[in-house]
Amino acid sequence: MSFGAWLEITSMLSPELRVDLFSRWQPDCIFLRQRKGLANRTQSRQQTNVYCCGWDQVAATRAMGFETVFAYNIVRTPQYESLSADRPLVQYDDVMTSHETCWSNIEAGGLHHMPVVTFGCDVTPRWHRGVTLPYDFKTLSYEPIIVGNTPEKFGLLCRRASDLARNSDRGEPAIIINAWNEWSEGMYLLPEKRTGTKYLEALREALESCRS
């Protein structure tokens, strides 16, 4: 059973039963975002590792009957705790390494896994206009700002994710891209003035190279 199918099943239940079902499972960063109408909140991530990735929840996910898992996004590096409030910046090269660490740990759980590829992260457009650097981004639940991401590096990460998915025998190969149009979080594949369609082209080239 997929998460989407489970959502359809739970949509037939009363609101009280839905909330009860969701409360039985508290995922970390293995994706569970509740649809509007099922419950009016998103499950929180427990800090079980520096990456804020819930690979330790895969066993519980399997026990509930799910067959597929993926991380919503991966933006942290081992340097997270030591980041300065003056410049909470992380390099995309380091984030790429974080992806492979998280993928590997999720894969070890034994479920069909669709590896996520994170475009970038910059939530400064969402700051209150009175917020300036330095600021306590951890207390405010903001993530670090990713710098150094390029279409070429994004394409390389897509190829690695696609290779991982295609080499698995646990289900149909698929990857997750975060994200299509998260303009206020610095995660978007939609064409824009700075790079045009280069990120979309990098994704296409990565998928084509894997097919060949």
**What's the whole-number mean pLDDT along residues 54-75?**
87
pLDDT in tens, 159-183: 999 999 999 999 899 999 999 999 9
Q: Which tens digits make up the pLDDT trace of 77-101?
A: 999 999 998 889 999 999 999 999 9
Structure-block tokens of residue 77: 């590096």
pLDDT (average), residues 51-63: 87
84/88 Cα distance (integer angstroms): 5
CA neighbours closer than 13 Å in the CB half-sphere of residue 17: 7
Mean predicted confidence (pLDDT) in 180-206: 94
Q: Is the pLDDT of residue 1 over 50?
A: no
